Structure 1
Amino acid sequence: MQSVRSPGRSLTEEQFQCSICLEVFVEPVSTPCGHSFCQACLQGYWSHSKQCVCPMCKTSFPKRPQLSVNRVLAEISAHFQSGGGAEAEPGAEPRAGAGGGAGSVGGAGSVGGDFAQAGEVACDSCIGRKMRAVKSCLTCRGSYCEAHLLPHRRVKELAKHRLTAPLPRLEESVCRKHQRLLEVYCRSDHACVCPGCAETAHRTHDLVSIEREWKRKMSHLGKRRSEVKHLIKERAKKLEEIKQSIKVIKTSAQRELEETWKVYAELQRWAEQSQAELVAQITGRQREAERQAQELARGLEEELAQLRKRSAELETLMHSDDKLLLLQTLPSLAPPPEPMDWVAVSVSTELYVGTVRSSVSALLEKSQDMLKRLYSKEFRKLQNYSSEVFLDPATAQRTLAQSADGRKVWFEERKQAQTQQGDGTRRFHPALFVLAREGLGSGRHYWEVEVGSKTAWTLGVARQSVRRKGDIRLSPENGFWCLWLKAGQVKALSAARLPLQLSELPSRVGIYLDHEAGQVSFYDVKAHAHLYTFMDAFTESLFPIFSPCLCHDGKNSGPLIISPVKHS
Structure 2
Amino acid sequence: MALSSSFKADLTCSVCLDLFEDPVLTRCEHTFCRRCLLEFWNQQRRNICPICRKICPSDNLPRNRALAGVIDSLRKEQDAQVCPRHEQKRVLFCRDDQELICCQCRDSQEHFSHKIIDMKEAMAEHRAEIENTLRSLQDRRTKCDGLKTKSEKYLTRLQEWARQTESQIKNSFRKLHVYLNDEESCLIQQVRQEERESSRKLQNMTEELYQELSALRNNIQEIERQMKDNVLNLKGLKDIQVRLARTLPTPVLIMHKVPFGKFSGPMEYRVWKRLRKLLDTVPAAVTLDPETAHPNLIISADRTSLRLADTHQAQDVCSKISLEPCVLASEGYSSGTHYWEVEVSGDRWALGVSSRSAVRNGRVSLTPQNGNWPLTFRNGTYECFYPLHSQPATGKPERIGVFLNLERGYLSFYDAADMSHIFTVPSKSSEQLYPCFVPPTSGKTMSLSHSL
Higher RCO, 1 or 2 (CA under 8 Å, sep at least 6)?
2
Q: Give the TM-score taking structure 1 as reference length.
A: 0.37
Larger Rg: 1
